[in-house]
Amino acid sequence: MARSEISDPIRVLLIDDSASIRIAFKKLIAEDPGLELIGAAPDPFVAVEMMRDRLPDVLLLDLQMPRMDGLTFLRKIMSQRPLPVVVISAFTKSGSEASFKALELGAAEVLAKPSVSTPDERREAAIRISDAIRAAVQSRQPRARSARVAGPIQVGERHTADVILPRIATAPGFSGPPVIAIGASTGGTEALKVVLEALPSGLPPIAVVQHMPQHFTRAFADRLNLTCRLHVKEAETGEVLTPGVAVIAPGHRHLVLRRSGKLYRVELHDGPCVARHRPSVDVLFRSVAQAAGGGAVAAILTGMGDDGAQGMAELHQAGAWTLAQDEASCVVYGMPRAAVELGAVDRVATLGDIAREITARVTREDRKAVP
């Protein structure tokens, strides 16, 4: 059921100095009756005047503007009257760095400036904008995290992992070489930082899907690599995973792991969004269930929606050990809750305990494997 059928639409204020971007966002937001664009300001000064008349539920904020940059405005907003904020960023190194700083300052999501040159690009842009706005609103409702935010209208067919990787049941008791899989969305950049920084070196290979725009995942991996004991990098097709390495799916391609003897090889796939996302946690988790079975440890972290829940159910059925972040420590308790409700989770833990739980489980399995 669309939000507009049960309550007032989410009020959105756009702040971007580009007239073409304002026009593009206006058209895309208009496609969702659960959203209402109440203003489109060319800079923060104009936005403040608009906000005196009508306060938005969420801000769409460009970071690179001439009169006042978005980070300065974000700091002011968060210190004076915190609002849900979705950052709009360009595909540049400086844009990526500013986006991560914005997330640290309290922004909920990052959106790339949309490309709408084809119908498929337009549909995906509409989905990403709609989902990001709803996730931002829910992230600023800590006392109602367990309440469901009304979903957006469906833009085209909603695909399952079947469109990328057919489902194949694993044999009972099947267990491949150890591997760790992690999925996250809204709030996940900070959550993954907490988890990966706390993991020791020498663990089995780790594969991560974090919902982020194209190009931003490489910068995200590079930042984590500076602070983690693991080697963290953006995944490359064909590479063989080795212990002590964590790969992060590129922001526009699905990540699949394939068994290669006693190791795992990375495949990157184009194709439709799965569970409204590309990369999709469901796709990664399904591939790990098929390749590793009981040899896998999987964790699902904060994020809106249900991407990863079905994949975690398949992992659980294949004998993998599954872990979910608890509601209290999630920015948005959506993906973990969906997995819990499917009965796909062996253990629920706080964000601060996720790394400890993973390490303890992997170490226990290693001891079992010693003759």
Please state at what angle helix 93-105 crosses helix 216-227, rounded to 10 degrees: 70
Catalytic status, residue 215 = no
User: One of 307, 316, 326, 353 is an active-site residue; which one?
Assistant: 307
Catalytic status, residue 269 = no
Given a contact cutoff of 8 angstroms between Cβ atoms, the answer to whether 289 and 314 are in contact is yes
Given a contact cutoff of 8 angstroms between Cβ atoms, the answer to whether 306 and 335 are in contact is yes
User: One of 32, 57, 139, 211 is an active-site residue; which one?
Assistant: 211
Given a contact cutoff of 8 angstroms between Cβ atoms, the answer to whether 234 and 247 are in contact is yes
Peptide bond into 279 cis (omega under 30): yes
* 327 three-class SS: helix
Handedness of CA 43, 22, 189, 246 (dihedral sign): negative
Distance CA 179, CA 25 (A): 41
Q: Give the list of residues 6+ apart from residue 297 with CB closer than 8 angstroms, or none.
A: 178, 179, 180, 181, 204, 320, 321, 322, 323, 358, 361, 362, 365
Q: Give DSSP secondary structure letters for 84-152.
A: -EEEEE-SSHHHHHHHHHHHHHT--EEEEPP--SSHHHHHHHHHHHHHHHHHHHHHT-GGGTTSPPPPP
157: region left, alpha or beta (phi > 0 left; psi from -120 to 50 alpha): beta
Given a contact cutoff of 8 angstroms between Cβ atoms, the answer to whether 211 and 277 are in contact is yes
Catalytic status, residue 185 = yes
User: One of 96, 139, 185, 329 is an active-site residue; which one?
Assistant: 185
Both structure tokens of 272: 């439709």
| Residue 218 DSSP one-character state | H
Handedness of CA 279, 281, 286, 292 (dihedral sign): positive
Q: How far is CA 143 from CA 23, 84, 188, 305, 348, in A?
A: 35, 15, 19, 18, 20
Mind telling me the catalytic residues?
Answer: 185, 211, 307
